[in-house]
Amino acid sequence: MEHPAALALTSLTVGYFVLAGCDVGLGMLMPHLARTAGDRRRLVAAIAPYFLGTEVWLVATVGMMVGLFPEVESRLPAAVVLLVLLPGWLSRDAGLWLRSRSRTAAWRHACDTAVVVGSWALAVGLGLVLADLLTGGRPGPATVFYTLTTVLLLALRGAAFGAERLVPPEHAAGRAESADAAARLTRTLARGGVVATALATGAAFLPGAGPERLLPAAAGAAVLVAVLAVASGLSGPRWSGTTSALAVAIPPLVTALSAGLPTPAAPPQTLALVGTTLLPLVPVMAVGQIWLYRLSRRPASTPGFFA
């Protein structure tokens, strides 16, 4: 049961990163992609319905880790979780939920700032957590490059999502500058990801700085560079939706393989109970998220509850 549980935890984590890249990454890029009040309103409208589904995966991932893998939970860097991830999550969510509660420009600006700052904090925090697990809590150059790679991949995923969602609807008059800027940015971020991955791979071979198992990390880095090379060479965002999803899935997968999962898990009785109650829900979540993605990949139309 331990290995299926570890596989489920890894799958949930990978799923969260793929999905979170859309809303977290797009939030990170708001200052670059949304220059006017109307652009920012459309960008928030693009993020808003999607982040609710993403957070279902976050809750499921955290719940499974706390319940089934207490050793993994104990290895998480508490300072990063409490000082970076949690404040970032609260800031981003507060900005999204409260933005439409007032129509004043100052209030909207404050909420947009909270979304951007919170999104960056989430991206950096997620990168630091993966880097800490990979390096066994040994800070150094590898930590910096692993974190940088994760941040760039989340931003790449957000840019690819924005290239689809920020296109004005056919029936609405509007500019496509935001979508065009997002499309152009996918190539820049993919090229940056290649450089960051190369630096992270080199740092992994420094004495005492790399993951416990170098082979999965090296294989993951090779696949990641290949995927990013495809994304960086495209003219426009044609395949960036797929390539960015594949790319952002690799860091959590490599972390799970390189950091020694499965680690000792909960007692067999707990694993059996959760296995019969929670695991059957994972395919349902996957189908539901695919359905939500197919709906939300359409251009964001008129702003609603959040914007």
Grouped pLDDT means (10 residues each) for the chain, 307 residues: 72 89 93 90 85 83 80 83 93 91 90 96 95 85 92 94 81 71 91 92 74 76 88 68 90 83 61 67 70 64 62
pLDDT at 260: 65
Q: Is the domain defined by 9-296 classed in CATH 1.20.1630?
A: yes
Q: State the burial class of residue 190 (Cβ atoms within 10 Å of its Cβ: 0-12, 13-18, 19+).
A: buried
The secondary structure of the chain in percent helix, strand, coil, rounded to multiples of 5, reads 80, 0, 20
pLDDT at 295: 65
pLDDT at 194: 92
Domain regions of the chain by residue span: 9-296
pLDDT at 87: 95
State how far the Cα of 69 lies from the Cα of 90, in Å rounded to an integer.
25
pLDDT at 201: 86
pLDDT at 158: 93
pLDDT at 1: 46
DSSP 8-state symbol, 99: G
Among 21, 306, 45, which residue's Cα sits nearest to residue 166? Answer: 45
